[in-house]
Copies of this chain bind each other. A is one copy, B any other.
Amino acid sequence: MKKYADMSKEELKAELDSLYEQYKEYQGMNLALDMSRGKPCREQLDISMGLMDALNSSADLSCEDGTDCRNYGLLDGIPEAKVLIGAMMENQPENIIIYGNSSLNVMYDTVARAMTHGIMGHTPWCKLDKVKFLCPVPGYDRHFAITEYFDIEMIPVPMSEDGPDMDMVEKLVSEDAAIKGIWCVPKYSNPQGYSYSDDTVRRFAHLKPAASDFRIFWDNAYGIHHLYDDKQDYLLEILEECKKAGNPDLVYKFASTSKITFPGSGIAALATSLNNLADIKKQLKNQTIGHDKVNQLRHVRFFKDIEGMKAHMRKHADIIRPKFEAVLEILDSEIGELEIGSWTRPNGGYFISFDSLEGCAKDIISMAKKAGVTMTEAAATWPYHNDPHDSNIRIAPTLPPIEDLKLATKLFALCVKITSAEKLLKEM
């Protein structure tokens, strides 16, 4: 295939005519496909159905320390859940609070608490003229929605395969005391599937922020979410690195079982230093008497230990790996040589990040939508939905059945081709 940029006006026009024909065919199919959100598919949910049998009416619902999980108590979680989730997060049980069903909720509450009460005795953020967060881009739209909701100014920081631009992060954080946080998805990042390099993690741990209430919001959402047995990313453990660097309180680390068992019916957790934990519990005890311990126990009884959880993750990988590969194969074969886009090839996580030619992303998404394929909203991966290049598109391959996914990806590739050809033609 000839690169679009090398085509003459006539060649491009002919190409476009043929592409429009194909697009019309798709429009006639009445498709209703969704590649927009990182939702597990039915087969993935099915492998966790054993969770529903992990407790029954003849089970003893006491946890290891003798607490009856059916009653009030244990604000920060049952001991065995701390052990299991600790192993999952690579943290000590004593550094962990087990929460409810949503790590997003924990992140939101963490920001909300800092707004109204400040961090460790510092001025509440709502009393400050300006609070800023660094936002590696492209990134996770729901992170940005939280900071936008709290009127926190978001500063984009470019991502590379090794993580955020650490020169920029170090400079900004050390110079501006209004910068109070940074959103990170350090492993199999959303949307690229990148994992931060050892050097990046160490530079994070060694940050010298101007604001002593600066915290790294380390959302390790995909810590054990590998696609391959033999190609797995490895991430340095941040709490340990912060401790070594003499910055033990620098990080809040979040995780959940949302994409391990059932999204919305799993358990979420936070890992951080004992100082931060004490600070958080001062608030938490006013917010709730405790989270759902029965569901914590259910998860522990189902997985037994981290090996059980890892074996479970291999089942997920077996279901979704072919979907990732199908998307990549189609992108490769349809537009691989046209030089009208680039995309990531992750070893885990839930997304592929696609970058179109500048100024094309919105049109591609809208064109796909008109033919029945829903992609993540345009510019969702940028703060304020403002992608200055109008080029990033998040592809979520997990939800659709594979045949639908192939069809949707082909249509997507077609929309990329049409939009790119139109752009190039216009610029001639």
Residues of A within 8 A of B (CB): 37, 39-40, 42, 45, 48-53, 55-59, 61, 68-73, 100-102, 104-105, 108-109, 112, 115-117, 124, 126-127, 142, 145-146, 149-150, 262-265, 283, 285-295
Contacts and interface: CB of A to CB of B under 8 A. Distances in A.
A145 B104 CA distance: 25
A78 to B, nearest CB: 11
A331 B110 CA distance: 47
Given A50-B57, A70-B265, A264-B289, 20 more contacts: A51-B57, A52-B55, A52-B61, A69-B265, A71-B262, A71-B264, A72-B263, A100-B101, A100-B292, A101-B292, A102-B289, A116-B126, A126-B126, A142-B286, A145-B286, A146-B286, A146-B287, A264-B290, A265-B292, A292-B292
A112 B145 CA distance: 17
Contacts of A142: 286, 289
Given A146-B286, A288-B108, A292-B100, A59 B52 contact: yes
Nearest to A286: B149
A71 B398 CA distance: 12
Contacts of A265: 69-70, 292-295
Contacts of A72: 37, 39, 263-264
B288 A102 contact: yes
Given A56-B53, A71-B262, A292 B295 contact: yes
Contact of A263 (B40, B58, B71, B101): B71
Contacts of A287: 104-105, 108-109, 146
Contacts of A264: 70-73, 289-294
21 contacts: A39-B72, A40-B71, A45-B70, A70-B262, A72-B263, A100-B100, A101-B291, A104-B288, A105-B287, A109-B287, A112-B112, A112-B116, A116-B116, A145-B286, A263-B289, A264-B291, A264-B292, A264-B294, A265-B292, A265-B295, A295-B295
Contacts of A71: 39-40, 45, 262-264
A10 B46 CA distance: 78
A104 to B, nearest CB: 6
Nearest to A50: B57
Q: Give this chain's copy count.
A: 2
Contacts of A116: 112, 115-116, 126, 150
A46 to B, nearest CB: 9
Contacts of A50: 57
Contacts of A37: 72
Given A45-B71, A265-B295, A288 B115 contact: no
A65 to B, nearest CB: 15
Nearest to A116: B115
A36 to B, nearest CB: 11
Nearest to A109: B287
A37 B287 CA distance: 17
Q: Which of A48, A69, A149 has the most CB of B within 10 A?
A: A149
Nearest to A290: B264
The 7 A-B pairs of least Cβ separation, nearest first, read A265-B294, A49-B57, A70-B262, A45-B70, A108-B287, A149-B286, A105-B288
Contacts of A117: 149
A87 B52 CA distance: 27
A281 to B, nearest CB: 13
B42 A52 contact: no
A69 B59 CA distance: 24
Contacts of A126: 115-116, 124, 126-127
Contacts of A68: 42, 45
Nearest to A291: B101
Nearest to A73: B264
A190 to B, nearest CB: 14
Contacts of A285: 145
Contacts of A70: 45, 48, 262-265
